[in-house]
Structure 1
Amino acid sequence: MDGLKVSKANLTVYLHPSKSIDVSEAILRELSSLLFTFSEVLDGVVLAYDINSLNNKNAKILSGVIPYFGVPLSVDLLLFSPKPHMLLEGKVVKLSQESIHVVVLGFSSAVITEKDIREEFVYKTKHEQDIYASKSHKRHVIKVGTMIRFSVKSFDEEILHIYGSLMPDHTGSIHWLEKHSDLISHTDRNAKKRESEGELTTLKQDSIDGKLSPLDTAQKMKKSKKQKIQEES
């Protein structure tokens, strides 16, 4: 899944003098306070940490009314930082005709609204259960409890809420996608082929309409270079 990364960081934890009796325990508490909150400095939500080194001997006392002291440490951080167009995975917890609600990594909520669900999926009620079923592949079904893969549209850092999309062809039920990965790859190749053919048609049409296309420009430059060589010889 996209959006997860391990970051190595050199931090300085500032502690109250009353914590000097057990510095290690105090540092663990400070790091734990970062969990499942978004950090602008780290550009992500801290999910876990692992301390590599801790140097109490290099602790520095800060001058002030209360002399806090800073302890430098090196730590590995597991961060969750979803960006637009990344692919995330989550479990469907609620489904209606207007939206699909998902939980990602057990803590972050996501919503996919009707306008961001591709036309292939049709909302229906089957055996008193709401589902989204594919018109192209009858076994491709999304319902409550389904693990799905979706694309990120945006991420609200304050409430850790994700706005997602099921518009790309390679999104939907993970169980179905993994069983039919060859079919998805073939679909993607056909889409790219159609896009390439469309660009070629545009170039030809520009030439017919009397416009200077990139292909015409390249050919004229080639002819001009050849003519120049012949004149010099």
Structure 2
Amino acid sequence: MEGFKVSDANLVVYVHPSKSNKVSQAILHELSTLLFTFHEVFDGVVLAYDVNFLDNCAKILPGVHPYFGVRLKAKLLLFSPKPNMLLEGKVIKLTQESIHVIVLGFSAAIITEKDIREEFKYKTKRGEDMYASRLHKRHVIKVGTTVRFLVKSFDEETLHVFGSLVQNHTGSIHWLDKNLEDISHSDRSTKKKRESEGESLILEQDTTVGEPISMENAHKMKKPKKQRTKGES
């Protein structure tokens, strides 16, 4: 999955004098307030952090309440989805007009009917709503299915993603992982056929903004107790 990057940040945390005997604890508490919110400075939602203290002692700031200013360096794991990136999430609701997905357990995503390719037909089978492929009978999307979809836009204030299932390399991850190679072969055959008929086909290559990071490395970073591979186009 795309949308992850790591940012190195130089920070100053201001600690109240009453916390002078628990500076480390106070700093970690302040850093935890950054989590799961979008920050323009970092251009992403902070998911985790790893901290290195730069000062052995804090600098006392003048004022009525002389706060301690502590300098530190932090490595931040950010979630920063951009248009045309591939994301993955679990389907939590289906209607005839839309598919609702949850990404990373906190970000909601919606894929509306106009952004679902015509291959999929909405139907109810044995009391269960689903989107079933007309071309591949085993390619089914229903509640609980993990889907791979393309980002159209991202609302930074509400952390809401608007996605698309128009592209052939999107859909149920379980089905795609088993059959995507066959689809690629089919697409290449179609391309050759078109070229032989004198048609030209222009391909657009997705770009990733920021430094990518794998989920495996992400889990190695420190984060509070509250808390797959890149799709090929």
TM-score range, shorter chain: 0.7 to 0.9
In 2, Cα distance between equivalents of 1:36 and 1:63 = 32
For 1:19, the equivalent position in structure 2 comes to 19
Question: How much has 1:191 moved relative to structure 2?
Answer: 5.9
C-alpha change, 1:195 and 1:63, in structure 2 (3 Å) is: farther
Query: Does the residue aligned with 2:199 lie in a helix, a strand or coil?
Result: helix
Q: 2:16 & 2:61 partners in 1: Cα distance?
A: 10
CA distance, structure 1, for counterparts of residue 30 and residue 188 of structure 2: 50
Unaligned runs of 5+ in 1: 201-233
Instruction: Indicate the SS of the match to 2:65.
Output: coil
Matches within 5 A, 1:86-125: 86-125=85-124
Quote the offset at 1:4 in angstroms.
Answer: 1.2
1:164 matched to 2:167: no
Alignment size in residue pairs: 199
Using the size of structure 2 for normalisation, the TM-score is: 0.80
Match of 1:55 in 2: 54
More helix by share: 1
Q: After the TM superposition, which of the residue ranges 64-73 and 98-107 deviates more from structure 2?
A: 64-73
> After the TM superposition, which of the residue ranges 2-11 and 90-99 deviates more from structure 2?
2-11
CA distance in 2, matches of 1:77, 1:103: 22
Conserved in 1, the CA contact under 8 Å of 2:45 and 2:80? Answer: yes
Quick check: which has more Rg, 1 or 2?
1
- Helix, strand or coil: the match of 1:94? strand
CA RMSD of aligned residues (A): 1.9
Instruction: Write out per-residue CA displacement over residues 19-52 of structure 1, whole angstroms, 9 at most, x where no aligned residue.
Output: 222110000000111111111111111111111x
Distance 1:132 1:68, change over 3 A: same
Please give the alpha-carbon distance, in whole angstroms, between the structure 2 residues aligned to 1:71 and 1:96.
Answer: 51
Question: Does the CA contact (< 8 Å) of 2:84 and 2:151 recur in 1?
Answer: yes
For structure 2, the residue ranges without an aligned partner over 5 or more in a row are 202-233
Q: What TM-score results when the alignment is normalised by the length of structure 1?
A: 0.80
**1:8 alignment partner AA:** D
Look up the SS of the partner of 1:31 in the other structure. helix
The question of whether the paired residues in 2 share the 8 Å contact of 1:35 and 1:48 is answered with: yes
Q: In the aligned structure 2, how far is the partner of 1:40 from the partner of 1:9? A: 13
- Which one is further off, 177-186 or 83-92? 177-186
1:45-99 deviations in whole A, cap 9, x for unaligned? 1111111x21343533333343323211122211111000100000000001000
Task: Go from structure 1 to structure 2 and tell me whether the alpha carbon gap of 1:130 and 1:23 turns closer, same or farther (over 3 Å shift).
Answer: same
Structure 1: distance between partners of 2:145 and 2:89:
8
Matched, 1:46 2:46: yes
User: In structure 2, how many angstroms separate the alpha carbons of the residues matched to 1:177 and 1:160?
Assistant: 27
1:30-45 paired onto structure 2 within 5 Å: 30-45=30-45
Q: CA deviation at 1:189?
A: 2.8
CA drift of 1:183 comes to: 1.5
Q: 1:75 to 1:195 in 2, by over 3 A?
A: farther
In the aligned structure 2, how far is the partner of 1:178 from the partner of 1:82? 22
Q: What SS does structure 2 have at the residue aligned with 1:26?
A: helix
1:176 is matched with: 175
**What is the aligned-residue identity percentage?**
71
CA distance in 2 between counterparts of 1:134 and 1:65 reads: 67
Which residue type is aligned with residue 4 of structure 2?
L
CA offset at residue 10 of structure 1? 1.9
Q: Secondary structure at the match of 1:198?
A: coil
Name the CA distance, whole Å, in 1 between partners of 2:174 and 2:151. 20
Secondary structure, in 3 states, of the residue corresponding to 2:22? Answer: helix
> Structure 1 residues 70, 189: CA separation in 2 closer, same or farther (over 3 Å shift)?
farther
Query: Could you tell me which amino acid in structure 2 is paired with residue 42 of structure 1?
Result: F
- Aligned-pair distance for 1:158? 0.9
